[in-house]
Amino acid sequence: MNWLNAALLFAIYAGHCELMAWWCNRTHGLTLRHRTTTKIRAVHDLIVLGAAPGLLFGFGLFGYRLMRGGEWAAVPWGWKAYFGLCGVGVVSLLLCIARHLFRPLPAGAKRSSRRIDVTADLGFKPIGAGKRRAQAALPGNAQYTIEAVELELTLPALPPGWDGVTIGHVSDTHFQGEVALPFFERAFEEMAAWNCDLYVFTGDLLDRPRRIDWVEPTFGLLPKTNPEFGCRFILGNHDWHYRVAPLRAAMAAAGWEDLSGRVETLRRGGDSLAIAGDESPWLNGPPDWSAAPPEAFRLLLAHTPDLFRRAKANAVDLMLAGHNHGGQIAFPLIGPIYAPSKHGVRHAGGTYREGSLLMHVSRGLSGKTPVRYGAMPEITRITLRNDSRALEEDG
């Protein structure tokens, strides 16, 4: 057995998988309907799964017999060229792993969290009905454990009047049925207990229109806490597949204000904060920032973090997004592999600094595929701080 060639074939397969993930992530980041992305994912799965036995038997043990004394000289140049490209995939994979392992929390951000075992709280696992029920019931599925994240963000442009303001951020509920209503009720009860000054939702409300009646017992809890600046929402790409007017109406009936494609100015202590919503590239957007006072702090709600470059161009200070679900499955050491983004897993979930822009990407509460491993559902409480307060505390 030629173990060196065996290791090379394994590396080729790893690089091949990285290339396929790169292609799959970026096509899913385009404005495509579910029927198209489903076909793309099926082709991806076939190519990834088929490559393993192809390399093992066609190149390793039989065919070119590279693991049994065969020579690379016998391999056609076309395959050699592709294997060389797989080498680029290996480098890309290693860079992704390094970014996952060594990405620090951005300057000005403090983070703490606690886990909520919803199954223990309820006394039963909230698995509902639907064709993906078996996936929801998989052993070790972290779908029923919520991470309640507390973020304190110090932002240079934040006016003193907005120091200490709290924002409750939730994203990607994906109501459909396999994850039952009590799970979501528990998440929103926790958020209501925070008594935030502002609550925001960044899209992907549901995956089955008949679950629209879940909006009131969940989202309807937060306006009842009388937040100083109310509740704002935008919709996402999964909502785009349905009639959005009833979704917007249901959210409005639950006490939420639609922020899609517009800018609103809020004032506190004489200082201004401009909050906007961008549902691009699927629905309304981008907002017209010229309506905002020039001195206002700028807060953007966007479904996809792929809009970060546009946000930077519009001098946005803080951007809140969702969409990528933390990759939904994140492997130990390697991290997430898949995210429906033009930038792959670069912004799978967490807090990021992109130049002057600070961005938090929520992992959301659920997904069309109700499976979570290493990327548990998330709700977030954000406290805004300005530089002057940080300096006083340090002193």
Q: Are residues 236 and 354 in the same domain?
A: yes
Q: Are residues 251 and 267 in the same domain?
A: yes
pLDDT above 50 (res 42): yes
pLDDT reported for residue 388: 64
Which tokens hold the place of 195?
Answer: 């008594």
- Give the integer Cα–Cα distance in Å for 236 and 155: 27
Q: Are residues 59 and 164 in the same domain?
A: no
Taking residues 200-224, report their average pLDDT. Answer: 97
Query: Which conformational region is residue 158 in: left (phi greater than 0), alpha (psi within -120 to 50 degrees), or beta?
Result: beta
Q: Are residues 97 and 132 in the same domain?
A: no
CATH number at residue 123: 3.60.21.10
Q: Which of 102, 127, 157 is where one domain is finished?
A: 102
Which tokens hold the place of 290?
Answer: 């010229």
Domain ranges, residue 126: 109-394
* Orientation of helix 77-102 relative to helix 3-28, angle to 10°: 70
pLDDT reported for residue 387: 79
pLDDT above 70 (res 308): yes
Q: Are residues 264 and 343 in the same domain?
A: yes
pLDDT, one tens digit per residue, over 276-292 is 999 999 998 799 999 89
Helix (H) or strand (E) holding 79: helix 77-102
Main-chain dihedrals φ then ψ at residue 249, nearest 5 degrees: -65, -40
pLDDT reported for residue 291: 84
pLDDT above 90 (res 210): yes
286 Cβ contact list (under 8 Å, min separation 6): 261, 278, 280, 307, 310, 314
Q: Are residues 71 and 149 in the same domain?
A: no
Biggest CA pair distance of the chain: 78
Q: Are residues 245 and 347 in the same domain?
A: yes
Q: Are residues 231 and 318 in the same domain?
A: yes
Q: Are residues 90 and 115 in the same domain?
A: no
Q: Which of 102, 136, 153 is where one domain is finished?
A: 102
* Orientation of helix 3-28 relative to helix 34-53, angle to 10°: 180
- Give the integer Cα–Cα distance in Å for 139 and 137: 6
Which carries the bigger pLDDT value, residue 356 or residue 152? 152
Classify 232 as helix, strand or coil: strand
Taking residues 122-139, report their average pLDDT. Answer: 94
pLDDT above 80 (res 391): no
Q: Are residues 138 and 57 in the same domain?
A: no
- Residue 395's pLDDT band (cuts 50, 70, 90): very low
Calculate the CA dihedral of residues 179, 368, 146, 279 and round it to 10 degrees: -130
Least Cα distance to 172 among 236, 224, 228 occurs for 236
Q: Which of 55, 84, 102 is where one domain is finished?
A: 102
pLDDT above 60 (res 216): yes
* Number of Cβ atoms within 10 Å of the Cβ of 73: 7
pLDDT, one tens digit per residue, over 62-105 is 999 999 999 999 999 999 999 999 999 999 999 999 989 988 99
pLDDT above 80 (res 389): no
Give the single-character DSSP code of 260: B
Q: Are residues 115 and 13 in the same domain?
A: no
The mean predicted confidence, pLDDT, of the chain is 94
pLDDT reported for residue 97: 92
Q: Is 16 exposed, middle or buried (0-12, 13-18, 19+ CB in 10 A)?
A: buried
Q: Are residues 114 and 159 in the same domain?
A: yes
pTM of the model: 0.94
For the four alpha carbons of 89, 90, 91 and 92, in that order, the dihedral sign comes to positive
Task: Name the domain count of the chain.
Answer: 2
pLDDT reported for residue 394: 42
pLDDT above 50 (res 393): no
